[in-house]
A and B are shown apart, each in its own frame.
Chain A
Amino acid sequence: MAEETYPPELKYHREHDWARVEGGEATFGITWYAQDALGEVVFYDPPDVGAAVSANQSYAEVESVKAVSDVVAPLSGQVVAVNDGLTDAPERINDDPYGEGWLVKVKLSDPSEAEALLDVDAYKKLLQS
């Protein structure tokens, strides 16, 4: 399992999701805290490519042996790619939550929504509260 880290270049949602915004697209995933709380992920149920996702709404599910968790979209848009590598190796979400464990890539419908997300310091503060 990965060391506890929160990369400074990411934007964070208070439901323990991250977004890496690059121009009009963003990659989404769950944070170290979320994967740690969930335990070893054994199943990832991705959305379809082309599906619309809305900020603050669930777009996918991750399951550990003990629990199911909805994954909340930090930003709105349309899914342009899903991480097919997780089908056979969902534990990558635990091993590398910000890299190989990414969940979807989304073409953003309103990039300005990112202003409402937390920066790394605000997210770490949330975790301590």
Chain B
Amino acid sequence: MPFAGWEMPVQYEGIRQEHVAVRTDAGKFDVSHMGEVETTGPEAERFLQSVLSNDVSKIAVGGAQYSVLCREDGGVLDDLFTYRLGDDRYLTVTNASNHERDFAWLAEHAQGFDVDVRDVAADHAMVALQGPRARAVLGEHLEGDAPARMRVASARVAGVDCLVCGTGYTGEDGVELLIPADRATTVWDALDVTPAGLGARDTLRLEVCFHLYGNDLSEDRNPIEAGLGWCCKLDTGFIGADALRDFEPAETLVPFAFTDPGIPRPGNPVLVDGEPRGVVTSGSQSPCLQLGIGMAYVPVDAAAPGTHIEVDVRGKRRRAEIREKPLYKKEDG
């Protein structure tokens, strides 16, 4: 399946079994389509603080942080992880479909700062190793120490110098490996776990309510509406902060689960008291819960967990209930 110019496997053996392998054992994902931007120089922190929504000064060397990149009006250009590799050196991971736009935005706004912003996407492959057994599997091939959650470290994996990041997109423990592009297959082949495709990546992240750019996030939504106010530190003065300062959202992103049979899909209308008042942005069948689940933008007066809604799935009204995040917790499995 082509995705942002990449040939991507949606599945290897089947989405459900790949999903369950990651929840109960471990799985590996080829996520080399993700982009990377390196920011170096004496004003690297000051520059990133001016564009990223979170408080970049809080990232210690060897640390990681989630943030969004906003337009002046608060519209979300991308959601990103930034790793601090050194005093004046940061690596930011972008979504494939936004990478070129992100890089252009960063390069443009770097004018006037003493920094060097480089597009290093072509230098890196990326493999996510996720699941309760992921760290044990990594340990079999690792020289050096694995970083804790939300930390990053350089280490040799299967003889290849990698950046090992204690992050992921599945709700499971695990790591993401940034690998020199020409050595990627050596690392991939060494990891003897279930290969998992984009399909399982999507159902895993949806069960734990992680946002997917293009579905749940877009330039038409700001991070407050999207429930990402926690990573927007307005006092840092990032681009977009002024627009968000006194913003009162009319709609907000909520997770929901079907109480009827059926599967919600992006674009399905959400009905509150029988009236169309919202829209599904992500939807699928949860392999762990065996239910239709999703996320939707709904009016704030209908956003409380426990609120009963209906989703119009191609003309059939399916009953659903707004839930707390995450939809899936370990003890459910």
Contact = CB atoms under 8 A, between A and B. Distances in A.
A63 interface: yes
Contacts of A43: 261-263, 285, 292
Nearest to A44: B261
Contact of B11 (A39, A42, A63, A68): A39
B287 interface: yes
A66 interface: yes
Nearest to B285: A42
Contacts of A45: 261-262, 316
A81 B49 CA distance: 64
Interface in A87-118: 87
A94 B293 CA distance: 23
A61 interface: yes
Interface residues of A, number: 12
Interface in B281-298: 284-285, 287, 292
Contacts of B261: 43, 45, 87
A65 B262 contact: no
A87 B262 CA distance: 11
A64 B265 contact: no
B314 interface: yes
Contacts of A39: 11, 14-15, 199
A62 to B, nearest CB: 11
A63 B14 contact: no
Interface in A51-74: 61, 63-66, 68
A65 B285 contact: yes
Contacts of B265: 68
A40 interface: yes
B203 interface: yes
Which applies to chain A's interface (DSSP): helix, strand, loop or mixed? Answer: strand
Contacts of B11: 39, 66
A42 B16 contact: yes
A74 B12 CA distance: 31
Q: How large is the interface on B (under 10, 10 to 19, 20 to 34, 35 or more residues)?
A: 10 to 19
Best-buried of A43, A66, A68 by chain B (most CB within 10 Å): A66
A66 B9 CA distance: 12
Contact of B15 (A61, A64, A87): A64
B10 interface: yes
Contacts of B203: 65
A40 B262 contact: no
Interface string B1-31: 0000000001100111000000000000000
Contact of A65 (B284, B314, B316): B284
B314 A61 contact: yes
B263 A42 contact: yes
Contacts of A61: 314
Contacts of B292: 43
Contacts of A87: 261
A42 B203 CA distance: 13
A40 B263 contact: no
A69 B16 CA distance: 18
B270 to A, nearest CB: 18
Contacts of A68: 263, 265, 314
Given A43-B262, A68-B314, 18 more contacts: A39-B11, A39-B14, A39-B15, A40-B15, A42-B263, A43-B263, A43-B292, A45-B316, A61-B314, A63-B285, A65-B15, A65-B16, A65-B199, A65-B284, A66-B10, A66-B15, A68-B263, A68-B265
Shortest 6 CB-CB contacts between residues of A and residues of B: A65-B15, A42-B285, A40-B14, A66-B199, A63-B263, A40-B16
11 contacts: A39-B11, A40-B14, A42-B16, A43-B261, A43-B285, A45-B262, A61-B314, A63-B263, A64-B15, A65-B199, A66-B10
Interface of A: 39-40, 42-43, 45, 61, 63-66, 68, 87
